[in-house]
Amino acid sequence: MEKSNSKIVAVAALVVAVIALSVGFAALSATLNISNDANVTVHPANTFEANINYFGNATCTPSSEHVTVESAGTASGKNWSGIVVKLQEPGDYVTCEATVKNQSTFDGFLKSITADSDIGCAVASTDGASSEKVTEVCGDMEMTVGVGTNGTENVTPKITNSAHVGLSGITTNNSIAKENGTHKVKVTVTYKTPGILADDDIQVTLPGIELSYNTEN
Amino acid sequence: MKKSQIKLTIFSILLIIMICLNSLIISILSSFWKLSIFLLISLMVFKLLFGFEKDNHRYIKDIIFNIIIIYLTSFIIYYLFGLIIGFIRTEMHYSLYGLFNFILPYIIMIILKEFLRYQILVKADKSKLLVLVSIIFFTIFDITNNMNIASFTDKYTIFMLFALHLLPAISNNIAATYITKKVGYKPNILWLSVAGLYYSLLPIVPNTGAYVGAMIKFLFPVIIVYNVYTFFQKKSKNIPLRDNKKERSLSAIFLALFVAILVYFTSGYFRFQAIAIATGSMTPNILKGDVVLIDKKIEPKKLKVGQVIAYKYDSRIIVHRLVDIAKVGSEYYFYTKGDANNGVDKYAIYEDMIVGVVNIKIPYIGNPTVWLNEL
């Protein structure tokens, strides 16, 4: 009987030790549930933010044969940058398009269009125009950005090599439907007429374009 | 109690005091060589005071053979387990430096320790107090260097000292004491040396993690004791073999099943993982102190709004309900909310953050874990 009691005590002690180990490791490992701050109300924009982005590839169309598109840039997230074109004479222009898609479950509203810098210019070849001439010619380069159903509804003031005021406080023609609604973003860069004629092709680098959307108009 | 046993008890208590001083204050026995020297001096004093007894036990070879079989079987299972959970490289001590500073002094220390244990237990005879004192001394001896570097202000370190060092040391020493009483000190030298050195001699070992590692260190000596106990039960002519075998088998099966189930659900290595809920953010559906079972076999793409999911965030696992799923290109983003919270969680959850789906809840049994975590 005494031996039987000892065995029961031994098995019970083992069970208790095993449970204590398991409870202890469970308590001290990082496997417990936590709650968020119960009083913080999350604005739907936080869930909306991740799901309205540039979608697909950007494309550019030159106005004539002697106009070259070196890069249509990369349109991803909320930023489109890296557009580089070569223009030869006044009247030349390039039109680039990209698409923004709203894959969230909330309707969105375009609120602002921002260019992150001025237009930049460089001479296309080493024995081309002088830097002073390039700067002079660059002053005749103008860029606009339009965003909307057709890409023509909300158009920024002209962006040049000395100014890049965007468009903000947009309240009309700016809605983008939830669950795969789209906006077209149209960028046009023009070699102004009348304008100074460059001795050579001018490589024009356009600023990056960032869009801001909200769930409230 | 005999006069010699009283003297031996005082001797053993003095040893405990000295080893405690080393553990908590002086800390001079910082290497296996120094620990071996301490044991050697203790043995010399013991010889002067009490003299040595010869080891005349029977069945030593049988027990050693059984221990070898247990080790071989255990290593096969251990390494098969590693195929599931993965392996890690160990710090091997194959160099001459490792041999002279680690392997050799460790084996010498084990030999001296077990010889001292044997001598004390032989003199202890039927004195339970002496047996207890010897177990206490050798347990503190085993963890003396771990106690030196422990910080007793941090609950995590205290628990790790308990789980990874103290509990296995208690288990080892109770087992070693039992085996010494039954068959002498030689089998202990074998299994304690292998237990202490395999990690330094094998190039890779299964990456069991702290929890499963602690379980193995604690339970392995129990297996050896059970084997020795069974061996002597078969040799015993007093107890009817059939009744005893049934009782022993039931206990062993119960314990093995219990441990297996616990390790399956709490280790996190298998399909289902149990976690305790530490807050009331999912009240009333899942309460603080409940345990939920996470089914890890899910495809994030097939999740539906309304399901309760577990995901990793900020080095914790959070259990909340899915309220929205968004697809951007080929990627999915998940949004969750605690049932009792006012708003949606402030962040998007990516596919690789998701641990699994919660379908089963066991009420209340997670409370000890939650209380311990809140200490």
> Do the beta carbons of residue B119 and residue B130 sit within 8 Å?
no
Q: Which helix (H) or strand (E) holds B325?
A: strand B316-328
Non-local CB neighbours of B214 within 8 Å, separated by 6+ positions: A21, A25, B163, B164, B167, B168
How many whole angstroms separate alpha carbon A36 and alpha carbon B314? 12
Task: Record the pTM.
Answer: 0.60
Nearest residue on chain B to A53, alpha-carbon basis:
B328
Amino acid at A97: E
Using an 8 Å CB-CB cutoff, list chain A residues near B372.
23-24, 27-28
Report the share of chain B in percent with pLDDT over 70.
93
Using an 8 Å CB-CB cutoff, list chain B residues near A32.
275-278, 316-317, 369-370, 373
* Cis omega (within 30 of 0) for bond into B168: no
Per-residue pLDDT at B29 exceeds 60: yes
CB contact under 8 A, B373 and A35: no
> Do the beta carbons of residue A137 and residue A213 sit within 8 Å?
no
Amino acid at B102: F
Output the pLDDT for position A40: 33
CB contact under 8 A, B167 and A11: no
* B132-151 pLDDT per residue, tens: 999 999 999 998 877 755 55
CB contact under 8 A, A27 and B335: no
Residue that is written with structure tokens 């020493």 in the block: B173
CB contact under 8 A, B277 and A32: yes
What's the gap in Å between the CA of B40 and the closest CA on chain A?
Answer: 33
Using an 8 Å CB-CB cutoff, list chain A residues near B326.
47, 50-51, 103-105
B320, β-bridge pairs: B309
Nearest residue on chain A to B344, alpha-carbon basis:
A42
- Residue B57 — pLDDT band, cuts 50, 70, 90? confident
| Length, in residues, of chain B | 375
A151: left (phi over 0), alpha (psi -120 to 50) or beta: left
Output the pLDDT for position A42: 36
End-to-end CA distance of chain A: 83
Report the share of chain B in percent with pLDDT over 90.
32
- Residue A32 — pLDDT band, cuts 50, 70, 90? very low
Query: Which of A14, A35, A178, A179 would you mutate first to test chain B, the one with the most B CBs within 10 A?
Result: A35
Per-residue pLDDT at A165 exceeds 50: yes
Q: Coil, strand, or helix at residue B276?
A: strand
Rg (CA), chain A: 30
Is ipTM > 0.90 here?
A: no
> Do the beta carbons of residue B224 and residue B180 sit within 8 Å?
no
End-to-end CA distance of chain B: 44
Nearest residue on chain A to B223, alpha-carbon basis:
A14
How many whole angstroms separate alpha carbon A192 and alpha carbon A169? 28
User: Phi, psi (5° rounding) for residue A150?
Assistant: -110, -5
Q: Coil, strand, or helix at residue B140?
A: helix
Cα dihedral across residues A192, A198, A201, A203: positive or negative = negative
Q: Please, where are the H alpha helices in A34-112?
A: 44-49
Q: Report which of residues A28 and A100 the model is more confident about.
A: A100
How many whole angstroms separate alpha carbon B194 and alpha carbon B107? 9
Per-residue pLDDT at A79 exceeds 90: no
Using an 8 Å CB-CB cutoff, list chain A residues near B275.
26, 31-33
Output the pLDDT for position B298: 86
* B194-219 pLDDT per residue, tens: 998 888 788 788 888 888 888 899 99
How many whole angstroms separate alpha carbon B368 and alpha carbon B278? 11
A93, β-bridge pairs: A190
Per-residue pLDDT at B321 exceeds 70: yes
- Residue A125 — pLDDT band, cuts 50, 70, 90? low
Q: Coil, strand, or helix at residue B207?
A: coil
Q: Do strands B291-295 and B308-313 pair parallel, antiparallel, or not at all (unpaired)?
A: unpaired
How many whole angstroms separate alpha carbon A196 and alpha carbon A131? 14
Contacts 24+ apart (CB under 8 A), A65-74: A66/A92, A66/A201, A67/A92, A67/A93, A67/A94, A68/A201, A69/A94, A69/A96, A70/A203, A72/A96, A73/A206, A73/A208
Output the pLDDT for position A145: 93
The DSSP secondary-structure symbol of A159 reads B
Q: Which helix (H) or strand (E) holds A204?
A: strand A202-205
Q: Which helix (H) or strand (E) holds B278?
A: none
B286: left (phi over 0), alpha (psi -120 to 50) or beta: beta
Using an 8 Å CB-CB cutoff, list chain B residues near A53.
328
| Pair of tokens at residue A142 | 């103008």
Non-local CB neighbours of A217 within 8 Å, separated by 6+ positions: A109, A171, A174, A175
Task: Count the alpha carbons within 13 Å of B107 in the hemisphere toward its beta carbon.
Answer: 10
Please classify residue B208 by burial: count the beta carbons closer than 10 Å to its beta carbon, then call 0-12 exposed, 13-18 middle and 19+ buried. buried
**What's the mean pLDDT in B276-305?**
89
| Length, in residues, of chain A | 217
> Do the beta carbons of residue B286 and residue B277 sit within 8 Å?
yes
Q: Report which of residues B309 and B269 the model is more confident about.
A: B309
| Pair of tokens at residue A24 | 């202890």
How many Cβ pairs within 8 Å bridge chains A and B? 142
- Residue A93 — pLDDT band, cuts 50, 70, 90? very high
User: Phi, psi (5° rounding) for residue B26?
Assistant: -75, -50
Nearest residue on chain A to B375, alpha-carbon basis:
A27
Task: Count the alpha carbons within 13 Å of A185 in the hemisphere toward its beta carbon.
Answer: 32
Q: What is the DSSP string of B54-81?
A: ----S-HHHHHHHHHHHHHHHHHHHHHH
Question: What mean pLDDT is reported for chain B?
Answer: 85
How many whole angstroms separate alpha carbon A100 and alpha carbon A103? 10
How many whole angstroms separate alpha carbon B336 and alpha carbon B323? 5
What's the gap in Å between the CA of B44 and the closest CA on chain A?
Answer: 35
CB contact under 8 A, A7 and B341: no
Amino acid at B223: I
Per-residue pLDDT at B327 exceeds 90: no
Amino acid at B23: S
| Pair of tokens at residue A59 | 């494309």
